[in-house]
Structure 1
Amino acid sequence: MIEIGLVIYPGAQLAAVLGLTDLFGVTNRIAMSHQKAGAPVLRVTHWRQDRASEAPTCVLDTCPDESAGKLSALILPPSLDEPVGGDEAAALTAWLRDHHAKGVALGSVCAGAFVLAGTGLISGRRITTHWSYADLLQQRFPELSVDADQLIIDDGDIITAGGLMAWTDLGLRLVDRLLGPTVMIETARVLLVDPPGREQRYYSVFSPRLTHGDAAVLKVQHWLQATQASDVALSTLAAQAGLQERTFLRRFQKATGMTTTEYCQRLRVGRARELLQFSNTSIDRVAWEVGYSDPGAFRKVFTRIVGLSPGDYRRRFGAKGAGK
């Protein structure tokens, strides 16, 4: 069973918590209808932090009679109060770091990004929040790249959504990742949430396996995500894991289901898709930006993974004003 946790920190917007609970409840009914067993597929838990000095505890479980499973994701909802951060969130950020180290994906909506940034897990990476908080977030965390133009930024192990009501987008993004596009589209239809404009960012998104339990491999996965797979040499990856190369290769493939080459190609292609969608950067330059010195090799890899050439992908999914 897939478990998604919603974190009720001091000042968290309860409307978003309840809305996400309902969204995932609809998703669970749809997913159950697609299987013969009829057993629950998706469990939602609420984790409440009553005091800033204490870690959150579970206060609600939508499937209390089912056996315990592993968390797949934790979501920090918006806040209508001043953004939480600093020493007042120390216990919460330590708790989040611990779960992230175990392979749990972390997500935030709007001002929840401040708590997420406080974990120190996303230094040097891109993050979004509500446009009115963008400058403050950048000032508090200068090591981040705050992009408030994006409604949602999916960085694999970290997902951030911008506006106060963007919890619907983040929720649907997780549904697509964990249960597939068919269930996501049906959920959107039931809730009368218009999926066009979202679908292109959902389909064929690389969702790395993070709950395998191999800490050494997980460390390398997080490092690759943070560095955008800029250095994919086997010697470098094995050193990051603290393992011999042959041992590392064996454990990496067992944990992720793919070779290091396949994994890094998918990370790079994921970054290329974003550049092709939302920038005017030439395809040759995109190839260089994501780590390919040979544009021809990049085109072959991209076409094999996505099913479209980079040019066709941009023409089909490029945002208005993006280059052809």
Structure 2
Amino acid sequence: MKHISILVPEGHTSLTNIEGAHQILSEVNSSLSSMGKPPLFTVQLIGISEETKQRNGLFTVKPDRLIEDIKKTNLIIIPALHGDPIKALERNREFIPWIIHQRKQGAEIASFCVGAFFLASTGLLTGKQCATHWKLANEFRAMFPDVNLVDDKIMTEEDGIYTSGGAYSYLNLLVYLIEKYAGRDMAILTAKAFMIDIDRTSQSPFIIFQGQKGHEDEPIRKAQAFIESNFQAKITVDQLADMLALGRRSLERRFKKATCNTVTEYIQRVKIEAAKKELETSRKNINEVMYNVGYSDTKAFRIIFKKTTGMTPINYRNKYNNEGVFV
């Protein structure tokens, strides 16, 4: 039987992650029991104090056991820790040596959403792929440059360490883990019971590109503002370099450092974000939207749109436009 430790951190934690993981994994045991089979999991809430207040005291969680009581576990689940990640780390530093010790003993680890910040703080994600909520991708990269953040992914798996993307994508990771531990049939049964969209791989359709402005490079801010105000036009790197009196290489290097995008990538993302808004709110056809955001090549527009959002323009419009289905 696999022992699963769902952490109950101090501070403002996702109770949805904690309760949801406990309920879904426990349901696997119930399903197995109904088939006349033995349970697969021992699921316990693990804390560093006997009582943990959440949401400014609105809720109280009482862990089943404390970390010193658990000598060996098979899977550690780290829920999302909200608020300032540095403060969250300080409040929960006692967990870290225990997590590292369990990892050395062969435990696998899964983090949900922004729980990736806490997992990365242990050093166990260094050099590995990781997903987190797309809204905090830039902050994560700045704090953990040695982690390979893939902000478009619903989940990642590398060497027994798992991470999930934003918010409810933790459900997809849970189903994935159930498939690994209990087989495909049980994963499908669980997905149907909880109405989870199985086999989703990307959170790209949900990303809202707002530009990366959390830096102090003023010329790059000016370049971003120019791009966002003139995205319908053909903007070149040389044009921006001349406007800012910078060398091309210097501009490209500073732009990448400040925004985590090349100039070309940034222009494309601004254009595609504008296209998404038109597809969501208007009845314009795909070609009209394409021209409005500065593309003239239909094939190129469709390729870049799908690469950015994970969906074709027509599928995106049918999913998010409140006017109904288009053909």
Scaled by the length of structure 2, what TM-score is found?
0.53
> For the Cα contact (< 8 Å) 1:113–1:160, is it kept in 2?
yes
> For the Cα contact (< 8 Å) 1:32–1:41, is it kept in 2?
no
Superposed counterparts of 1:3-82, under 5 Å: 3-11=3-11, 12-34=13-35, 36=36, 38-50=37-49, 59-60=63-64, 71-82=73-84
Q: Deviations over 1:52-102 (max 9, x none)?
A: xxxxxx9327xxxxxx99522101011332325554443221111011011
Find the aligned partners of 1:197 and 1:167 in 2 and give their Cα distance: 11
Shift of 1:10: 1.7
Asked which structure has the greater RCO (Cα within 8 Å, sep 6+), the reply is 1
- The equivalent of 1:191 in structure 2 is 194
Superposed counterparts of 1:27-176, under 5 Å: 27-34=28-35, 36=36, 38-50=37-49, 59-60=63-64, 71-83=73-85, 86-176=89-179
Q: Deviations over 1:151-190 (max 9, x none)?
A: 1001131100011112211211111111111111111111
Superposed counterparts of 1:153-302, under 5 Å: 153-197=156-200
> For the Cα contact (< 8 Å) 1:138–1:146, is it kept in 2?
yes
Shift of 1:31: 2.3
- The equivalent of 1:204 in structure 2 is none
Find the aligned partners of 1:197 and 1:129 in 2 and give their Cα distance: 15
Change (3 A) 1:69 1:10: closer
Report the RMSD for the aligned CA atoms in angstroms. 2.8
> For the Cα contact (< 8 Å) 1:5–1:71, is it kept in 2?
yes
> For the Cα contact (< 8 Å) 1:85–1:114, is it kept in 2?
no
Shift of 1:47: 0.6
Change (3 A) 1:70 1:97: closer
Larger radius of gyration: 2
Scaled by the length of structure 1, what TM-score is found?
0.53
Q: Which stretches of structure 1, 4 residues or longer, exceed 6 Å deviation after superposition?
A: 319-322
Change (3 A) 1:3 1:120: same
> For the Cα contact (< 8 Å) 1:3–1:72, is it kept in 2?
yes
Find the aligned partners of 1:178 and 1:85 in 2 and give their Cα distance: 31
Percent identity, aligned pairs only, is 24
> For the Cα contact (< 8 Å) 2:130–2:163, is it kept in 1?
yes
What is the count of residue pairs matched by the alignment?
Answer: 189
> Helix, strand or coil: the match of 2:63?
strand
> Helix, strand or coil: the match of 1:168?
helix
User: Does residue 2 in structure 1 map to residue 2 in structure 2?
Assistant: yes
Structure 1 unmatched runs, 5+: 52-57, 62-67, 199-318
Q: Deviations over 1:79-137 (max 9, x none)?
A: 33232555444322111101101100011011100110011112111111001111111
Structure 2 unmatched runs, 5+: 51-61, 202-305, 311-327
Shift of 1:149: 0.7
Find the aligned partners of 1:14 and 1:50 in 2 and give their Cα distance: 16
Find the aligned partners of 2:136 and 2:200 in 1 and give their Cα distance: 24
Q: Deviations over 1:8-38 (max 9, x none)?
A: 112321122111111112111122334x4x4
Change (3 A) 1:174 1:165: same
Find the aligned partners of 2:7 and 2:143 in 1 and give their Cα distance: 22
